[in-house]
Amino acid sequence: MFLFCALLIGACMPAVPTATPAYPTPVQFPPRPTIQATCEPQPYTRPRVHPGWGCMEIVFDDLTANGVLSVGALAFDAGGTLYIARPAAGAVAALDKEGVEGARLFAEGLDYPFGLAYHEGALYVAGRERLYRLRDADGDGIADERRVLVDDLPAGPGCWVNTVGVGPDERIYVSGCGRDDPPQGVIFSYAMDGSDEQVIAAGLHNPVGFAWHPATGDLWVTDSYHLWGQAIDDAPPDTLNRVTPGEATPVVSFGPGTAPAGLAFYTGEAFPEMQGHLLVVAYGSWNVPEPRGYELLSLAFSPDGSGSAGPLYRVVPSSYAQEPTWWLSENHSTFFPEHPIDVAVGPDGLIYIAVQEGLVIRIRPV
């Protein structure tokens, strides 16, 4: 089950990070000022939020589907349909109602699809060496138009395409490894037809997730470092970076082994206390003295979006301990041993988390 951990965290040759301020230990979100409500029991009880703040609900459960890479990125269309990347199956599912039985096959025969982005009636899919654009032209719920926009994205052993998105400049962005030898982590940009490749940021190790600030348009990206065979004290920190022309500047350090992955700015109304926060899922590392990551974090920003101002909140697990521990996982308070890989905000303002091994989990207010 940890095969993808090696692919995800050990993607490219590490760059030497600049000095990055260590961020304070996350604090727990305080209970919401609402009447206490009881969350419905769930068959999968491991991760949970503070019972006075929110409830976690499973909307897609396919934990039996061979585990590794059963679920990748998430994306919503304007009508509220949730698209789920299924890398190992070479497919994309569309979820119209909760449960595996509510998912339909939107597209199949794709080359290890992982990243998803929906934009103006089309689903953009990044997978291994290819960038696809899919459309449902006849409205039957299945993609009947498929175009390969880019067919030579850098890929190979330990080098992977991670995330795709359409920026405020109406260009397609893709994170992964560059074309240099040895490769370093980069973010590419393309015209909407896949032409005009540009390098937006270089010198990263493994840029996994990225998102644009809704007010400023600034691009933020997570970067994870390789821990295999390294002593934890010698490993570089995993970071959150602000992208400026040609480079990515570390702003927040999550500590070695946290493995921050998917990002999403919260712009919904269901959690007003989160408005403007940056949601970060930490994939997690097991090959450290005790597991790190396996959590959902929320980073508050200054009102103008000019920079992170804190505090950094821990949404999952629901513990007041400073770090996730084996004890917490035994008490079902963290995602461990499964790996949260992406986070999205639905049109309903609720938070959706993709768990690599086969789950999509929704967080709603109590």
Per-residue pLDDT of the chain (366 residues), as tens digits, is 333 433 443 444 444 344 455 666 777 777 776 656 677 777 777 787 877 788 888 999 887 765 567 899 999 998 999 999 999 999 999 998 765 667 899 999 999 999 999 999 999 999 989 999 999 999 999 999 999 999 999 876 666 788 999 999 999 999 998 888 777 889 999 999 999 999 999 989 889 999 999 988 999 999 988 655 566 666 788 999 999 887 899 988 888 888 999 999 999 999 998 999 999 999 988 777 677 888 999 999 877 767 776 788 888 886 545 555 665 666 667 888 889 999 999 999 999 999 999 999 999 987
CA 316 to chain centroid: 15
Q: How many Cα atoms sit within 13 Å of 30 on the Cβ side?
A: 4
Q: Is 73 part of any domain?
A: yes
Q: Is 20 part of any domain?
A: no
In sequence order, the 6+-apart residues with CB closer than 8 A to the CB of 309 are 300, 301, 302
Q: Is 84 part of any domain?
A: yes
Count: domains in the chain: 1
Please tell me the predicted confidence (pLDDT) of residue 292: 80
How many distinct helices (H) and strands (E) make up the chain? 2, 25
Q: Is 347 part of any domain?
A: yes
Match 């962005």 to its residue by tokens.
173
Task: Give per-residue burial for 335-364: e unless 16+ CB within 10 Å, then b.
Answer: bbebbbbbbbbbeebbbbbbbbbbbbbbbb
User: By the 8 A CB rule, do 298 and 313 touch?
Assistant: yes
* SS3 assignment, position 349: coil
Instruction: Work out the number of other CB atoms within 10 angstroms of the CB of residue 120.
Output: 8
Domain containing 290 — which CATH number?
A: 2.120.10.30
Task: Decide: pTM greater than 0.75.
Answer: yes
Q: Is 283 part of any domain?
A: yes
Q: Is 21 part of any domain?
A: no
Token pair of 155 as six digits: 């890929």
Instruction: Work out the number of other CB atoms within 10 angstroms of the CB of residue 55.
Output: 17
Q: What is the CA radius of gyration of the chain?
A: 19
Please tell me the predicted confidence (pLDDT) of residue 231: 62
Match 């880019």 to its residue by tokens.
150
Q: Degrees (nearest 5) of the Cα angle 116, 66, 152?
A: 40
Please tell me the predicted confidence (pLDDT) of residue 9: 39
Q: Is 254 part of any domain?
A: yes
Match 């994306």 to its residue by tokens.
75
Structural domain span for residue 83: 3-15+26-365
